[in-house]
Structure formats: structure tokens, C-alpha cells
Amino acid sequence: MTSDALSNLLHEDRRFPPDPEFAAQANATEALYEEARADRLAFWDRQARELLSWEAEWSHVLDWSNPPFAKWFVGGRLNVAYNCVDRHVEAGHGDRVAIYWEGEPGDSRTLTYADLQGEVSRAANALISLGVGHGDRVAIYMPMIPEVAISMLACARIGAIHSVVFGGFSAEALRSRIDDAQAKLVITADGGYRRGKPASLKPAVDEAVAASPSVEKVLVVQRTEQDVDWDEGRDVWWHDVVSAQPAEHAPEAFDSEDTLYILYTSGTTGKPKGIKHTCAGYLLQTAYTHRNVFDLKPESDVYWCTADVGWVTGHSYLVYGPMANGATQVMYEGTPDYPEPGRWWDIVEKYGVTILYTAPTAIRTFMKQGEEIPGRRDLSSLRVLGSVGEPINPEAWIWYRQVIGSGRTPIVDTWWQTETGAIMISPLPGVTSAKPGSAQVPLPGIVADVVDDAGNVVPDGHGGYLVLPEPWPAMLRTIWGDDQRFIDTYWSRFPGRYFAGDGAKKDEEGDIWLLGRVDDVMNVSGHRISTTEVESALVSHPKVAEAAVVGASDPTTGQGIVAFVILRADAGEGGDQVAAELRDHVAKEIGPIAKPRQILAVPELPKTRSGKIMRRLLRDVAENREMGDVTTLADPTVMNMISSGLASGS
């Protein structure tokens, strides 16, 4: 974020106190904060008893005797899928809709909790028949269709560990994730619909699996009916294998600390980190936050989270949180603007969506398109609006509330990460007096601080780094296969405290304002992409000698990727053609979301005497700002060479 944007943010003084009528019916109350402050572990103990069904009780709420390796609900046993599906049927809610699924071409499906119980049981039986068991890893690479949630729950049901890989990632990205987790099975589809056309998935799986000896079987859902290559010994159709199974499966209870899933996210090095989440604490905090932050009333609400299931938001707020709470939700397959820009608002109107959870980048895109488009639909069913993925600027916040929320809905700006597993900092609707642009305060049961370089907690009115000084139930337990990296990445910068990687400021009232990443991680449309990952993709191209990548502020996507490259002498003329070639190369190596917005060929890169690239200076160039201090450069003239080269258009 630029310093201008930052100071604007901190001068925001509009306040939106809760509506008394909303407050009177809200799930959350001020008393939750007091209860959690008085005894945090007793608070979580009570939540665990009220929100989840257990087969065996725990002996301790938290074991923090070997930090940073936490154990929550020690000795407790439960089945995550039973909690998300069966118990709602047993409680008499089998007829309640679990998923209103909307395909992009306009087809739709409705699954009740009873339907889901049958489907998840069938899928669980199918996984067992394919040789998958407790602790085995299953990679899931799918479009947004009900089978993706069914697959995840089927894994959870039998104690297999899923690793969902976003369908927009490349074959290479999929291969490296399959390899790191040593997945035995891949669940995929022939393809899915995007922007009016069937997009394929199976060819990327074929390519990835050809180089993945761990994979024994590939289970394929037929969605688009496009032609696919078929390996008779390896590939099986969902409609053959799953549909043939009995719709009954007795769930077995697993230990609280059994692994539920791995989800890869970008770090500051080129190698993605496999974030490991476990069963009980994760499920508890997703359920608790989903109930209180969104004020969920499972009997009457229709909830819609627009995230793709390939990201953590999809895991926690499309699958585990809402389903643990027995929510009715919408799941949409495609793009927001197909067949036309009002598609999302049509969906809100069609299903009477009451709670909407989306990202600032989407809100800003709708803002640009104007109020008329949502204005033509009936959005009066909406009563809570959520935001996630990046800081929401006050203008977008106000627009969201005025135009989408008719000027009356609470907005919850939820800060959290893949690593935290669930929402950590957010207003509570009906309780908090909202400030546009601020995520405000840690939720009851969560502790967060802002500290300076030396690790001292800053006074109100000051900025620094966001840290989490106390463990929380949904916290990551480690990086898959790399405990040392877990310790180094999160627990070493401020020993004993979790370092989130975000800059933050506390205002005069102690409310927290998130200011973006302080490490080499970019945030593009709410997606996390590492500069080093894009750099290594670029230098793997034969025409590139060196590359440096920065995230430059972008009015719509938050940040845009700008790459500076030194071309090899034999690469020929630079120019648009090479830039296009390199952008495609990055898409092939990582996925289209990582394509640089701009690629600039330069003669040199700014480096310190120890050889570290000074991205700060490149960011100045990319954002057309006056250059900062260049005195630590090994060669201070480099920046002149770069700027004059760019100015002359080479």
C-alpha cells in the first residue's frame, strides 16, 4: 500500500454503530469478550462442547508444553464429516438444503443434508475401494461443483488427508504439490465452465501424474463431457466407482490432532509451504467464527461465500465452518460476469441470499461497473456482508454497505490467513461499532498484538508488525514434512510469538488496521503469490538472465505483479513479443493468476553490496514514485540506467 493510501486510511473517522434491532437478535454479545478474557481455555472448552459432537472427551483443552507445536483438545475423538453432515440428519434436519449449486451455464442442483450424507458415504466407500485409508494423502484438483465438497468430506470421514490444489494452477504446480505430499489418489474432473466455455482440467492432471510415481489412481468426475485421454489402468470415472457404492458408511472417530488436510500457500521462497491443519481445533474455530462473525441462523439464512474451494477461504467458509453449523449455502461454479456483469446479483435474488462473503477486489470491480447493475436486482434479503483477503479501502467498504447492503447491513472485515485456519480479527455484527477499513479487534478467545522491531508492544496510535502471542485452536500445526521451516518462518522473528508477515497499526482506540505484507509476498486479488516464485519461473525461461518481481499497488486488484528482467544477450530484441512470451511462460509454470501485469526489460537490477535485490526501489519505479534512498546500492547509478531506459521506451 502506498503511504498516501495509508494516511488516508488512518484519517477515516466514519463510524457505524450496530443497529439495535440487529443487536437484539445477534448470536454474538459483548459478554463473549468478557468470558474469554476471564479464562480463555475455559471459553474454548465451552465452545467445543456446544458447537461440536464428540465421541470421546479431551483431558486438556491445550497442551503448549512443546511450543510452537500445539495440541488442542488432547485425547478427544470425533469425526469431522459426521459433525458436518450426519448429525444434522440425526437431529431431524435431513430435508434442509445444504447446497444450492449453480452451474455457470445456468444448470443447478440442490442437495439436502440427507442427500449429502448419502453422497459422502458413497464417496468414502469408493475411496476405501481404491485403496485409500487413514493418513493417506489425496490430491483434489476440481472445478466448483458439489463433488469437490463431497470429496473433501469423504476424505475427512475415513481419516485420509486431502490436499486441494486450486484448479487454476498449472500442471507443474499440481505436480510439485502431489510430490511434496506423496499423494496416492488424485480426484479431478474432465473440466468445468469458465466464461461460457468448458475449461479442461484432466490434461493438466495427466501431465502432472505422468511425473508422479506416488499416484496410483485418478478419480474423474464428468462435468463438461469434453474428450479426455484415458489410462485404463489408472483412471476411473466417478459415475462408475462412486455411484455403485452403498449410501451407508459408519464414520469412525479420530484423534483431535489427526491431520485433516494440507493446503499449499506461497511463502518468501520459491517452494510453496504445505500448511497442515488438524481435526478438532480447526473444526471448532471455523464453526465458532462462522456462527458469530456472520450471525448465522441455520434455520433461515442462505449463506454464500464466493471463494474458490482451492483457497483456505473455500475450505473454512464453504465446507467446514458452514457445514459444521448445518448452514444452507449457495455454491457457484463460474465467473462473476458471465453471461453478464449482474450474474452474482441474479444469484443473490434467485436464492434469497442473506449472508455474502467476498473479497475487496470483487467489490472494487463492481464499483467500477456502477450501481445500476446491482440496482436492477432485489438484494433486500442480504443482512450481513463479509470481506476477506486483503485490506478493504474505506471507499469500497462504504460502497459495499450502501449499494449492496442498502445502507443497513453490518460489514465484517475479517483478517486471517491460510495458516490461522479461521478468522482471527474481525468486528462482531450487532456488537462492534464498525470503522470502514479496519478489521478492528481480535475475536473473543484470540489474542493479537502489534509490536515494533524489537518486539515491544506498540502504544495505541502506533504501527508495527502483527503478532499472535497465544496459540489458537485452528492454528497450523506445522509445515508438512518441515518442522524447522515452520519454526523459522513463523516463530523466530519474535521468539515465542507467531509472526503473521503483515504490517499493522493500532489507532488511538486500540483498533487494528492491517496494512499489507511486510515480506516478499504479494497479494493480487486476494491471492497470495511470492515474488521469488514468479522470479524463478521467469529465470527458467531461456531468454531471461535475471529477474526481480515486485507487487505494485493496483486500484482494482490491490497489487499487480511487475517484473524487471535482464534478457540474455542472444534473446534478440526485447519488446512486446518477448514480454508476451514471458507472461505465458509464467502462466504455464505457476498458473494464469501469477502472470505479471507488466514486464520491463532492464540493463541491470539494483542490488546491495551483499547482492540482495532492493525491491523497494523497483516498487518506486513501478508505482511512478520518486526514488527512495539509493545509498546502500553497490552501484548507485543503476537506478538512473533503469529509469532512463524505461523513459526512452526500450
Rounded least distance, CB 400 to ligand WT7, Å: 13
User: What string marks each residue from 265 to 284 as x (binds ligand WT7 by CB under 6 A) or -?
Assistant: x-------------------
From candidates 104, 390, 520, 535, binder to ligand WT7 by CB under 6 A: 390
Interaction of residue 499 with ligand WT7, rule CB under 6 A? no
Query: What DSSP letter does each residue of 540-589 carry, written as one string?
Result: TSTTEEEEEEEEEEETTTEEEEEEEEEEPGGG---HHHHHHHHHHHHHHH
Q: Which of residues 249-268 bind ligand WT7 (CB under 6 A)?
A: 265
Q: What is the rounded CA–CA span in Å between residue 491 and residue 466?
A: 13
Interaction of residue 18 with ligand WT7, rule CB under 6 A? no
Nearer to ligand WT7, 121 or 414 (CB): 414
Stretch that binds ligand WT7, among 57-65, 71-79, 495-503, 532-540 (CB under 6 A): 495-503
Rounded least distance, CB 275 to ligand WT7, Å: 8
Interaction of residue 489 with ligand WT7, rule CB under 6 A? no
183: region left, alpha or beta (phi > 0 left; psi from -120 to 50 alpha): beta
Whether the CB-CB separation of 129 and 245 falls below 8 Å is answered with: yes
Annotated binding site: 194-197, 313, 389-391, 413-418, 502, 517, 525, 528, 539, 541, 544
From candidates 223, 290, 364, 517, binder to ligand WT7 by CB under 6 A: 517
Stretch that binds ligand WT7, among 38-46, 188-196, 214-222, 499-507 (CB under 6 A): 499-507
Annotated binding site for Mg(2+): 539, 541, 544
Q: C-alpha grid cell for residue 594? A: 501469477
From candidates 500, 529, 550, 617, binder to ligand WT7 by CB under 6 A: 500
From candidates 414, 440, 525, 559, binder to ligand WT7 by CB under 6 A: 414
Residues pairing with 524 in the sheet: 527, 558
Q: Given the C-alpha cell 506423496, which residue does it identify? A: 182
Interaction of residue 286 with ligand WT7, rule CB under 6 A? no
Q: What is the largest CA-CA distance in the chain?
A: 73
Rounded least distance, CB 442 to ligand WT7, Å: 13
Check the CA dihedral 457-460-461-466 and report its sign: positive
Q: What is the rounded CA–CA span in Å between residue 543 and residue 537?
A: 12
Annotated binding site for CoA: 194-197, 313, 525
336 CB contacts (<8 Å, ≥6 apart)?
306, 343, 344, 362, 365, 366
Whether the CB-CB separation of 303 and 332 falls below 8 Å is answered with: no
Q: Which of residues 299-318 bind ligand WT7 (CB under 6 A)?
A: 312-313
Measured between alpha carbons, how far is residue 32 from residues 42, 197, 473 in Å? 12, 48, 17
612 CB contacts (<8 Å, ≥6 apart)?
none
Q: What is the rounded CA–CA span in Å between residue 639 and residue 632?
A: 12
Nearer to ligand WT7, 220 or 500 (CB): 500
Interaction of residue 358 with ligand WT7, rule CB under 6 A? no
Whether the CB-CB separation of 551 and 561 falls below 8 Å is answered with: yes
From candidates 192, 405, 437, 501, binder to ligand WT7 by CB under 6 A: 501
Rounded least distance, CB 41 to ligand WT7, Å: 25
Count residues near ligand WT7 (CB under 6 A): 22
Which residues contact ligand WT7 by CB under 6 A? Answer: 265, 312-313, 388-391, 413-418, 439, 500-502, 514, 517, 523, 526, 528
